[in-house]
Structure 1
Amino acid sequence: MRKLLMALSLSVTALSQFSAYGSSGSIIFNGQLVGSTCQVTVNTKNQTVTLDTLSINNFQKKNDTSIGKSFNIALSQCQPADNISVVFHDAKNGFTEDGLIANQAGDDYAKGIAIGIYDNDNNLIKMNEKIALDNNNDTRNLALIAKYVATENQVEAGQVASTVNFTITY
């Protein structure tokens, strides 16, 4: 009898643990597989954009910008219906609070200056945000402009160097 009571009390205890839980739910997973992904064209995959050499006198106050240097990211072999975006991320020297690419630090590097990436309408492209590409054919081109941007009211002369990565998202 004692064994029966012990087994019964253990089963009631076990059941009471399960009945203490409240609501339950479910998780739905969705996804899509595509036949192939776009290819970044060879000359735009790993590129160097050399900005013009300028005088610090071109920057009189914070947010002054230089004339830009055009560059692009070109994709080929895309599926026409793909919703494709580009995201800039992981700058080697980080980003400023305004979303600019920070200049490398050190004695030989310019102070009070950063690099901004702009679209063809002169809108600053925010880092870590998707830029949608037109999806009208199997090639896509993202035309961009890089500019020096003053981050301080006074800019000090020196080298400007940084690196930013990009990822194609679907």
Structure 2
Amino acid sequence: MRKLRFAYCALALGLISGYASAASQGTVTFNGKLIAETCEIDTNDVDKTVTLPTISTQTLAKAGDEAGSTTFTIKAVSCPAAITKVAAHFEALDSTGFDPVTGNLTNAAATGGAKNVEVRLYNTDSSVIAVGETGAAFDVQSDQTALMRYIGGYYATAATEAGDVTAKVNYTLSYP
């Protein structure tokens, strides 16, 4: 009888441990596509500088406050006829250039930098573009160009403190 109980216990533990190990591992599959012919970035738009307005810390007094929205454009040229839409995919320069919780760009101003402020990216419909995401797609025009419009602005993570704000993001053309 004792051996039988032991066998049942061993069987039960085996079943339970099987579920435990199955829940602690998995697989991530990445799928993508590369294309040979793409649009080019207009030479005037490769490296952009967007000047956000100078605003008061009182405007960004608490977490979640947003202000200073400024539109910027990226022009794609020489798009092949097969490409009808193009968008910008925004990527962090490195692991310290963005906040993984908010998806915003962090302030990289070295000395005299403002505190508790990030730069948030938006589509023109005000939807947020987190770092690592692709912005809205724009139509390629008959002259094989596309003008992509996006917005950058301040985002408070807490009551802000005065200082400079500098943030950078890489972008790559994407073809949805």
* TM-score computed with the length of structure 2 as normaliser: 0.70
Q: 1:33 to 1:142 in 2, by over 3 A?
A: closer
Q: 1:91 aligns with which of 90, 93, 96?
A: 93
- Report what 2:6 is aligned to: none
Deviation at 1:140, TM superposition (A): 1.2
Aligned partner letter, 1:40: I
CA offset digits 1:18-77 (Å, max 9, x no partner):
xxxxxxxxxxxx97754x421111221101111111110111211111131111111011
Name the SS of the counterpart of 1:58 in structure 2.
Answer: helix
* Structure 1 residues 45 and 105, CA gap change in structure 2 (3 angstroms): closer
Alignment partners' CA distance in 1, 2:91 and 2:130: 10
Match of 2:54 in 1: 53
1:112 aligns with: 116
Which segments of 5 or more consecutive residues in structure 1 lack a partner in the other structure?
A: 1-29
User: Per the alignment, do residues 100 and 31 of structure 1 end up closer, same or farther by CA in structure 2, a change over 3 Å counting?
Assistant: closer
Give secondary structure in 2 for the equivalent of 1:86. strand
The alignment status of 1:167 with 2:162, answered yes or no, reads: no
Q: How far apart, CA to CA, are the structure 2 residues paired with 1:67 and 1:142?
A: 20
> How big is each residue's C-alpha offset from its partner over 1:83-141, in whole Å with a ceiling of 9 and x where there is no partner?
53321112354211110000016551011000011111111112112235234431112
Rg comparison, structure with higher value? 1
Q: Is the 8 A contact 1:58 1:66 kept in 2?
A: yes
Corresponding residue for residue 42 of structure 1? 43
Q: How does 1:2-151 map to 2 (within 5 A)?
A: 34=36, 36-82=37-83, 84-91=86-93, 93-96=96-99, 97-104=101-108, 106-137=110-141, 138-151=144-157
SS at match of 1:131: coil
Distance 1:32 1:76 in 2: 19
> Could you tell me which amino acid in structure 2 is paired with residue 54 of structure 1?
I
Query: Quick one: distance in 2 between partners of 1:60 and 1:79?
Result: 48
Greater share of strand: 2
Give the RMSD, CA atoms, in angstroms: 2.2
The equivalent position to 2:163 in structure 1, one of 155, 158, 164, is: 158
User: Contact 1:110–1:159 at 8 Å: present in 2 too?
Assistant: yes
